Structure 1
C-alpha cells in the first residue's frame, strides 16, 4: 500500500534517532549483568502504569559519563512490545533538530502500532494538510498525535498505554525547545489527551531542573538519579574483565593477561565512569596499534602518572587526561592538526544541512581530503568515534569527547575552537570562493559555474538522480549546488568567528574579493519545479551577524545603503514589519547587499543589482538556472 502522507512524514523525521536504527549500530548498551537494577526498575514502571497513576514521566538524570544512554538503550530493548517509540538525541551526531522530534515519534507510532488505525488516520491528516509537519512544536503534537488518538477513541478503539523513551534531551538544539517539549507533553498528560508514559534521560542542566520542578509538571514526575560513584567499581571490574578476555582470545594472548592487579588499576583509572571504561577497551583493542599488550602498558602508565600527581581534580579530569594524552597527543602533529580541523568543520553547522549528501563528504570536499585520507583520519580516532565507510559517517561514542574538545578550560591547546584552526578554515573558504568563475558550457549558449572543490567520483552517480549539477565539462567532476551553498555559508560563519583583520595579506584579499560570487542565484526545490531562482538567502544567525558587521565595518567594507531598490512585496516577505538595515558589502561593482536589523536579527545577502551580477556571470542570472 502507498501512504503518501506517511512518506512525507518520514522525510521530515530522523529515523537514525530510533533505538533500533542501523545508524546507531552497535548502540551503547549495558554489559550483561550490569545496571540491572535500573533497567528492571524502568521496565517495571513502564509496564505497570496502574501502580503509579499520577506519575506519567520518569526523569533519569545524571552527569556525563555515567551510562545514561546505555541504560536507555537496554531499557528500550527490554520493553519490547511495550515500547511505543524512542528518540536518541545526539548533538554531535546531528540528531538534534527539535522540529523533527514529534514527527519521528508519530512515524514510529504509526509503524509499531500495526493493529491500530492510527497510521491510516495520520496518513489522511497529512494528505489533507501537508503543512502540518512544518508547524510549531505544539501544533505538530496536537495534529500528529493528539487528534488521531482522539478519533480512534471516538471510533471505539482502545489505545493501550505505551512507553515513549527519549535519551539525551539536553542535546536537543536550544534550551527553549527542550523546555517546550517537556511542557507540551506534560500539558497533554494533565488533560489526559494521550495515553503514553514518557521516560526522559538527560544531564542535570539548570533549565531542565527548573522545568521538571515547575508547578503543574512536578506532580507528574518520578525521579531516578545516576551519580559518579566508586560503588560501581565492582560492575566496572566485571565489564573490563570480560572485555579484556575477549581481546585476549581474539589476539591469542596467554591466559595470564591481563593480571588481576592490572584490572584493578584500569578500574581505578575509570573513576566510576562507564564512558571511560568503554573508551579504554576500545583503545586497548586499537587495530592500528602495536597490539593489546602495548596499549594496556600505555594505559597503566597513565594510571601511575595520575596516582603520582595525587589524583584528579574533578570527576571528568581522568577522562580528559585519556582524551588528551592517549587519544590526541599520540597522533603525529600533521594528523592531529588535520583531525582537529575536520572536527571543527563538522561543528560549524553549515555542512550538515543537506540530508541527501553525507555531511562528512561535504567536509572532506571542503578540506580537500581524499576518501583514503578521510578513512585514515577517522580510524586514528578509533577509541572515540566509529567510522562507517559505506555511508561515510561518524558516530561519536560519547558526547564527552566533543565537549572536551570544545571547552578550552578542559582541552587547553587541543581545543578545536582555537583561533589558528578557525583562521585556517576561513582562509580555505576565501581561497576557494576567490577561484570560482562562470565559464561557457560546451555545446550551449549558457554559462556554468566552476568551483575548485571536487566531490568524490563514488558519490557522483549516487546523487545524480535528484541533485542539480553545478557544472559538467570535460575533465572535471560533477558539482552540486549544495556544495557551493555550504561553501558560502562556511565563508560567512568563519568570517564572524575569525580575526579577519590581523594580517595585511588577508585584509587585502578581503578588500579585492568579488562578493558577487556569494550572491549567485541558488536553486531551491518548489514542489516539482527545480528551476525557480532564489536571489536572496539567509547566511547567519543573529549573534554571528552582529560580530561580522563589527569586523567588516572596521575594514571599511560595510557601508549603509539608503533607499535600496528592493521590491516592496519581497521586502515585506523577508522582513515583515521589522526595522531592517541595508548595507553594501565590498567595493565598486563587486558589492552585494547585506541585510540586518537595527536591533539585530538573522542576516541575509542578495545581489546589489541584476546589472552587477550580469557583469560577473556574463549573462542574465536567471539563465544560469534555466539551463539546468
Structure 2
C-alpha cells in the first residue's frame, strides 16, 4: 500500500503523476500515447481541484482506468471541479466522491450504503489495524458472490478487494466434512481469525479520506452513514440477519445444533464455502457479528424503540452458546463496552464471564437503555 502525501507545493508532482497515470491507461488499451487525450486543460483542471492531495489524483486515475468509457469518466471528474468559494482542502476530493456516489443506480444504493456503513464501523482503511473478510461481509449483507462483487465494482475507485485464496488450506484444521466444534481449540482460534479477516479476500477503502467523507454529514450530505435513517436501516438489517441465523439453530441439551428442517450449514449462507468445516465457522462468525452490531448500536438514541423491542425478544441463549463454541480456546480477557460502561469478558470452561469495576458500573451504567430492550 503506497502512502500518498499531502502538500500545498505538490502541484508539479501531481501533474507529473497524472500524466504518467493517463499514459499507462492509454497503453493498457493499446492507444498511442501520442493521443491528445487528456488535454492540457483537463490536466490543469484536475491539478487545481486536487489542492495538493495526491489521493485525489490517485482516485481519479483509478476511476478513469476502470470505467467502461474513460472519456466520460474524465469528463465527469472535470465537471466536478472545485467551487472557487470553497476553501476546504477536501472540496475537490469531496466533489469527486459525490460523483462516485451519485452515479450508483437507485436499485443498488441501499446495499452500497449498508456496505459503506459496515466498513466504516469496522474502520476498514489502510493503517487502522483492522481487516474485514469478503465472505463474512457478503454473508452479513446477504449477497451472493456475483452480487457482492457487482456491488463492489460500483465503488472500485475507492474500494479495494484483495484475494487471499492461494494461502488458505482448510484441510489442516481437521476433517472438512464436520463442523468446527469437533476441531481442537487452537485450530478454532486460527480458523476464526482467517474467516473474519481473509476468507474470500480482504476488503477496505483505498484511503481513510473516503471513510471520513462518509462519516461527516457536511461533506457527504445524503450519503452520510451516520444519519438517523441510515443507522436504523443498518440496525434493522443486522437484526433481521441475526434473527434469521437464530431460527436456523436449535438446542440438543445445552448443545447448539441445526434446527429441524435445516438441511446443512451452507443453506443459511448467501455465499457459502466449499466444505462444512469452514461454513460452520463462517456462519457462527456472521451470527456473532450481527449480534455484536445490534448490541453495540442499541445504545444509540437514534435507534427506533420497536427495533430495540424486537432485539430484546431474541433468544440470547443461542447467541451466548454460539460465542462459547466460537471462542472455545480463547483465554485472554477482551474489553467490551455495554450499556455505557466498560467490562471485560472471558470464556472459562464453556462459560462466558463478565467483570465490570464497581465504580464504573455505578457511574456509567445506563439503566434506561438496558430496560428498553427487555
What is the TM-score of this pair, normalised by structure 2? Answer: 0.69
Asked if 1:489 corresponds to 2:292, the answer is yes
Give the structure, 1 or 2, with the largest relative contact order (CA under 8 Å, sep 6 or more).
Answer: 2
Q: Following the alignment from structure 1 to structure 2, what is the Cα–Cα distance between the partners of residues 351 and 459?
A: 26
The aligned residue for residue 216 of structure 2 is: 407
Q: Following the alignment from structure 1 to structure 2, what is the Cα–Cα distance between the partners of residues 241 and 496?
A: 49
Task: Kindly indicate whether the alpha-carbon contact (under 8 Å) linking 1:540 and 1:602 is maintained by their aligned counterparts in 2.
Answer: no
Structure 2 gap ranges (5+): 166-199, 260-264, 342-350, 368-374
Corresponding residue to 2:19 among 241, 244, 247: 241
Task: Kindly indicate whether the alpha-carbon contact (under 8 Å) linking 2:45 and 2:78 is maintained by their aligned counterparts in 1.
Answer: yes
The aligned residue for residue 272 of structure 1 is: 52
The aligned residue for residue 10 of structure 2 is: 232
Task: Kindly indicate whether the alpha-carbon contact (under 8 Å) linking 2:132 and 2:204 is maintained by their aligned counterparts in 1.
Answer: no
Task: Kindly indicate whether the alpha-carbon contact (under 8 Å) linking 1:422 and 1:497 is maintained by their aligned counterparts in 2.
Answer: no
Q: Once the 2 structures are TM-superposed, how far is the Cα of residue 508 of structure 1 from its aligned partner?
A: 5.5
Asked if 1:263 corresponds to 2:43, the answer is yes
Q: Following the alignment from structure 2 to structure 1, what is the Cα–Cα distance between the partners of residues 273 and 311?
A: 35
Residues 384, 515 of structure 1: CA spacing in aligned structure 2 closer, same or farther, 3 A cutoff?
same
The aligned residue for residue 310 of structure 2 is: 509
Asked if 1:327 corresponds to 2:100, the answer is yes
Q: Following the alignment from structure 1 to structure 2, what is the Cα–Cα distance between the partners of residues 236 and 338?
A: 34
Residues 272, 337 of structure 1: CA spacing in aligned structure 2 closer, same or farther, 3 A cutoff?
same
The aligned residue for residue 518 of structure 1 is: 319
Residues 364, 310 of structure 1: CA spacing in aligned structure 2 closer, same or farther, 3 A cutoff?
same
Q: Once the 2 structures are TM-superposed, how far is the Cα of residue 453 of structure 1 from its aligned partner?
A: 4.2
Q: SS state of the match for residue 161, structure 2?
A: strand
RMSD: 3.9
Q: Following the alignment from structure 1 to structure 2, what is the Cα–Cα distance between the partners of residues 446 and 493?
A: 26
Q: SS state of the match for residue 156, structure 2?
A: coil
Q: Once the 2 structures are TM-superposed, how far is the Cα of residue 447 of structure 1 from its aligned partner?
A: 5.8
The aligned residue for residue 600 of structure 1 is: 364
Task: Kindly indicate whether the alpha-carbon contact (under 8 Å) linking 1:368 and 1:453 is maintained by their aligned counterparts in 2.
Answer: no
In the TM superposition, what are the counterparts of 1:5-84 in structure 2 within 5 Å? 27-28=1-2, 67-68=4-5
Q: SS state of the match for residue 417, structure 1?
A: coil
Task: Kindly indicate whether the alpha-carbon contact (under 8 Å) linking 1:366 and 1:453 is maintained by their aligned counterparts in 2.
Answer: no
The aligned residue for residue 365 of structure 1 is: 139
Q: Once the 2 structures are TM-superposed, how far is the Cα of residue 285 of structure 1 from its aligned partner?
A: 1.1
What is the TM-score of this pair, normalised by structure 1? Answer: 0.43
Task: Kindly indicate whether the alpha-carbon contact (under 8 Å) linking 2:340 and 2:366 is maintained by their aligned counterparts in 1.
Answer: no
Q: Once the 2 structures are TM-superposed, how far is the Cα of residue 404 of structure 1 from its aligned partner?
A: 0.7
The aligned residue for residue 392 of structure 1 is: 201
Q: Once the 2 structures are TM-superposed, how far is the Cα of residue 381 of structure 1 from its aligned partner?
A: 1.1
Q: Which has the larger radius of gyration?
A: 1
Residues 520, 293 of structure 1: CA spacing in aligned structure 2 closer, same or farther, 3 A cutoff?
same
Q: Following the alignment from structure 1 to structure 2, what is the Cα–Cα distance between the partners of residues 501 and 340?
A: 19
Residues 269, 447 of structure 1: CA spacing in aligned structure 2 closer, same or farther, 3 A cutoff?
closer
Task: Kindly indicate whether the alpha-carbon contact (under 8 Å) linking 1:493 and 1:540 is maintained by their aligned counterparts in 2.
Answer: no
Structure 1 gap ranges (5+): 1-26, 30-66, 69-226, 471-478, 548-569, 581-595, 604-628
